[in-house]
Amino acid sequence: MNIKNLSAAVSAIVLFGVAGAALAGAPNPNSDDTQFVSTKTRAEVIAELQQARANGEILNNDNYPGPVVTVASSTKTRAQVIAELKEYQQTHANPSYGDLVFVR
């Protein structure tokens, strides 16, 4: 490598180093530098959390607000559902997905 190329490489490294140092101290234009000021005490927040837990509003590892999960309860037995499926398969002549389900 000749002296001209070496000099250009060193100059580029110094230039990028200076530019990086200058940008490191610059404020981030995307950040909001205002300080957050809470209107509630820690005790009030904890009390709200406990109330939400008691109401069942937090169900998923304290992810607030948690999804409200409802479980549908069936009014039919497994045997009744199987009987309905077999009846449907017998009364409908057109092949469909339901006709492809085999029930023991």
**Whole-model pTM?**
0.28
95: three-class secondary structure by DSSP:
coil
pLDDT of 43 strictly over 80: yes
* pLDDT 10s digits, 17-29: 666 666 666 666 6
pLDDT of 98 strictly over 70: no
With 0-12 / 13-18 / 19 or more C-beta atoms within 10 angstroms meaning exposed / middle / buried, residue 53 is: middle
What's the rounded mean pLDDT across residues 50-76? 72
pLDDT of 67 strictly over 70: no
Could you give the CA distance from residue 104 to residue 95 in angstroms, rounded to a whole number?
Answer: 19
Cβ atoms 98, 92 nearer than 8 A: yes
Q: Where are the domains of the chain?
A: 73-104
Mean pLDDT of the chain: 74
Could you give the CA distance from residue 52 to residue 2 in angstroms, rounded to a whole number?
Answer: 73
Residue 82's nearest CA partner among 64, 65, 62, 104 is: 104
pLDDT of 41 strictly over 70: yes
If one compares 49 and 100, the residue with the highest pLDDT of the two is: 49
